[in-house]
Amino acid sequence: MILSNIENIPGKTIQEFYGVVTGSTVRAKHIGRDIMAGFKNIVGGELKGYTELLNEARQEAIERMEAQAKSVGANAVVNVRFTTSSVAQGAAELFAYGTAVKVE
Partner 1 sequence: MDTATLIQLLVPAALLVGAYFIGSSIEKKHYRELRTREHASRRFITVTFPYEPRDEEIVASTLVTGSVVISVDYFKRFLAGLRMLVGGRIKSYEPLLDRARREAIMRMKEDARAGGYHVISNMRLETSRIASSSGNNKGTAAVEILAFGTGLKLARRRPATP
The footprint of partner 1 (CB under 8 A) covers 2-7, 9-11, 28-29, 34, 37-38, 40-47, 50-51, 54-55, 58, 62, 80, 82-86, 88-92
When the beta carbons of 22 and 51 are compared against partner 1, the nearer one is: 51
DSSP per position, 59-97? HHHHHHHHHHHHHTT-SEEEEEEEEEEEEETTEEEEEEE
The answer to whether 100 and 68 are in contact (CB under 8 A) is yes
Q: How far apart are CA 26 and CA 4, in angstroms?
A: 23
What's the closest the beta carbon of residue 21 comes to partner 1, in angstroms?
A: 14
As to burial, measured by CB atoms within 10 angstroms (0-12 exposed, 13-18 middle, 19+ buried), residue 21 is: buried
When the beta carbons of 5 and 22 are compared against partner 1, the nearer one is: 5
What's the closest the beta carbon of residue 20 comes to partner 1, in angstroms?
A: 17
First to last CA, the chain: 12
What's the closest the beta carbon of residue 6 comes to partner 1, in angstroms?
A: 5
What's the closest the beta carbon of residue 83 comes to partner 1, in angstroms?
A: 8
When the beta carbons of 58 and 101 are compared against partner 1, the nearer one is: 58
